[in-house]
Amino acid sequence: MPQTSKVPNHSSHGLSSQQDAVKDTQSLFADHMPTSMTDDILSEMGSVRNYREGLQTNAPLDQTHLAHDFSHIYTPAPALASSRYNRQMLIPSISLLGQQRISAARILIVGLGGLGSPASLYLAGAGVGKLGLLDDDDVELSNLHRQIVHREDSVKQGLPKVQSAKRACEELNGECKVVGHEMRLAVGGSDGAKVMEVFDGYDIVLDCTDNPATRYLISDLCVLLSKTLVSGAAQRLEGQVLLLNYAVPPAAASMDHTARAERGPCYRCVFPTPPSPDMVLSCGEIGILGPVVGTIGTLMASETLRLIVRGLEETRKPTMLLYNAWPADPRSMFRTIGLRGARKDCLACGKEDVLKEKGLKRITKDELVEGRVDYVAFCGVSEDVRILKSGERMSAQEFLHLTAREAGTENHQRVKRPVIVDTREPHEVEMGPKIGGSINIPLTKILRQGRSIEEMEALLLDGKHDSMLFVCQRGNDSQIAARKMLEARRQRYETKAESGADGVGTMNGEDSRIAFIGDIAGGFAAIEKVIRTSSVRPP
């Protein structure tokens, strides 16, 4: 506090010093402040006679008496200004009105994982009026490296994420009303109406979920209920943030002042077609760094606060922020790209007449509530790869029995001496179990135009082997690798047959020794299961 200034201070600090003066006049005015300053302030306040007399006689001050005296010229600072939110209110773009808006805002966070963790903490800390938390998962140990709202204690207790996060937010700010929604985000049956009701109780929704089907559903709900959507996503070392379905004030939407308020694009406008399920990988599969998803969740919280303070309106053109924690060029760590606006033929937020011309219809509230929009089917389900025939696959049990018999004399009918090709990526091999004698050729290398097929061919035909078994974590990549090998050999064989004299296509000497090329069905996951449940004795 500037205590030696001779100029009356009109900043909020000056105001609060006046307020404090009323509360604790003796310490502030008599002991710590130069007389000239108290003079300035007090004369500014008007009649000071009683006040100064009080100071001089050192008599206790009658505060009700004072309030009565100054009420016509003195208004105390609003309570909010000296509240715990003071430091954010000092920012001119927030100020009193901004905090009043924050304190009245109703925010729903869907997904209390890596994104929802910092988002919920920061929004609770900022003092949003009502903070809704929606999730149906429990806290697990593997969440904690990034989901900072949860604690080990929640894992031990097996707490649902909603309860764990609610507890943390309430501990952080007892003034914030935190509402838990322990439910699966689903429509159809009684779920649809319930979800609609929950969403309708909020102004802004934060999509902190982890799969496309849920992302489309949240966006459609926000469109139907006119809610602003703050969408974030992160994977590995990268993240993205975008603002969707926000209200554009008429003046910004058009020069025509009679125009209705427009809205920004929705998730469907930006991504009308979902990616193929094979391209959608979860954090559990491909990994995520804590601070990366934390940065995105934090950015979502600040975008939410900005929108609240702006009165839920956005005049900027639609953009998406990209974050890369590990960029080749440090200048591209953060990058903002320009997106298209709302799509007139969007199935969720498009124009009725434009859709009609194309023979399309907008998704209605009833359709959504009744579960007639099938999000899972729309996004597809990643199915297990089925490109090998059953005769080209060996079960984990059969494989383990084969290796168990190898030591003895009993011959396996199909395979005696296999080349075992582990198709996992090197870092996955490092972190996973291994099969003795196997060689590691990652699938990405096998699929790359390179020499890996020739390498494998050379191993297969070195006279010591009679078969080739591919193995991976779950038995998907191994099929792709085996198919690639089988195809390469078939092509080679056909080329030989065409140029050969017989033309009938009999196997040459080399190939006739090859008993089997295929994979271990279910990969290491299946092998581990067999080992866990039996002590691998030949039947």
Partner 1 sequence: MDEASPAHINITIEFTGGLEMLFDNIQTHKVSIPAKDDEGANVNVKSLIPWLCKNIMRDSRKELFVQEGSIRPGILVLINDADWELEGEDQYELKEGDNILFVSTLHGG
Q: Which stretch binds partner 1 (CB under 8 A): 20-28, 281-289, 461-469, 506-514?
A: 281-289
283 binds partner 1 (CB under 8 A): yes
Q: Which stretch binds partner 1 (CB under 8 A): 6-14, 195-203, 282-290, 465-473?
A: 282-290
264 binds partner 1 (CB under 8 A): no
Between 173 and 209, name the residue whose CB sits nearer to partner 1. 209
210 binds partner 1 (CB under 8 A): yes
Residues 213-232 binding partner 1 (CB under 8 A) are 215, 232
Between 131 and 527, name the residue whose CB sits nearer to partner 1. 131
439 binds partner 1 (CB under 8 A): no
Please give the torsion angle defined by the CA atoms of residues 287, 288, 289 and 292, in that order, rounded to the nearest 10 degrees. 160
Rounded to 10°, the helix 161-172/116-126 angle is 30
Q: Quick count: other Cβ atoms within 10 Å of Cβ 206? A: 29
* Paired tokens of 514: 């090859």
118 binds partner 1 (CB under 8 A): no
Between 178 and 270, name the residue whose CB sits nearer to partner 1. 270
526 binds partner 1 (CB under 8 A): no
SS3 322: strand
Tell me whether residue 379 is one of the annotated catalytic residues.
no
Between 54 and 113, name the residue whose CB sits nearer to partner 1. 113
Tell me whether residue 283 is one of the annotated catalytic residues.
yes
* Least CB distance to partner 1 at residue 409 (A): 42
Buried b (16+ CB within 10 A) or exposed e, 171-200: ebbeebebbbbeeebbbeeeebeebbebbe
Active-site residue among 222, 266, 269, 283? Answer: 283
The answer for residues whose C-beta is within 8 angstroms of residue 89's C-beta and 6 or more apart is 80, 81, 95, 96, 98, 99
Closest by alpha carbon to 202, among 169, 227, 178, 183?
A: 227
Q: Binding residue for partner 1 (CB under 8 A) from 329, 366, 462, 502?
A: 329
Q: Which residue has the tokens 């760094």?
A: 289
* Paired tokens of 85: 């939110």
* CA 377 – CA 396 distance, rounded (Å): 32
Q: Binding residue for partner 1 (CB under 8 A) from 71, 444, 491, 506?
A: 444
Residues 447-476 binding partner 1 (CB under 8 A) are 447-449
Between 38 and 164, name the residue whose CB sits nearer to partner 1. 164
Q: Which stretch binds partner 1 (CB under 8 A): 18-26, 62-70, 85-93, 269-277?
A: 269-277
335 binds partner 1 (CB under 8 A): yes
288 binds partner 1 (CB under 8 A): yes
* CA 229 – CA 304 distance, rounded (Å): 9
Strand partners, 438: none
Helix (H) or strand (E) holding 96: helix 95-104
Residues 180-209 binding partner 1 (CB under 8 A) are 207-209
Between 275 and 433, name the residue whose CB sits nearer to partner 1. 275
Binding-residue total with partner 1 (CB under 8 A) = 53
Closest by alpha carbon to 164, among 185, 187, 184, 141?
A: 141
Closest by alpha carbon to 127, among 101, 90, 148?
A: 101
Structural contact between residues 218 and 171, judged by C-beta atoms closer than 8 angstroms: no
* CA 325 – CA 334 distance, rounded (Å): 9
Q: Binding residue for partner 1 (CB under 8 A) from 18, 154, 163, 235?
A: 235
* Least CB distance to partner 1 at residue 87 (A): 29
Segment 498-505 long-range contacts (CB within 8 Å, at least 24 positions apart): none
Q: Binding residue for partner 1 (CB under 8 A) from 7, 79, 328, 381?
A: 328
The answer for residues whose C-beta is within 8 angstroms of residue 498's C-beta and 6 or more apart is none
482 binds partner 1 (CB under 8 A): no
For 181, 218, 502, the CA distances from 386, given in Å and listed in that order, are 39, 32, 35
* Least CB distance to partner 1 at residue 488 (A): 11
293 binds partner 1 (CB under 8 A): yes
Q: Binding residue for partner 1 (CB under 8 A) from 91, 141, 193, 337?
A: 337
Q: Which residues bind partner 1 (CB under 8 A)?
A: 111, 113-116, 207-212, 215, 232-236, 238-240, 270-276, 278-280, 282-283, 286, 288, 293, 320, 322, 324, 327-329, 332, 335-340, 444, 447-449, 484
Residues known to be catalytic:
283, 472
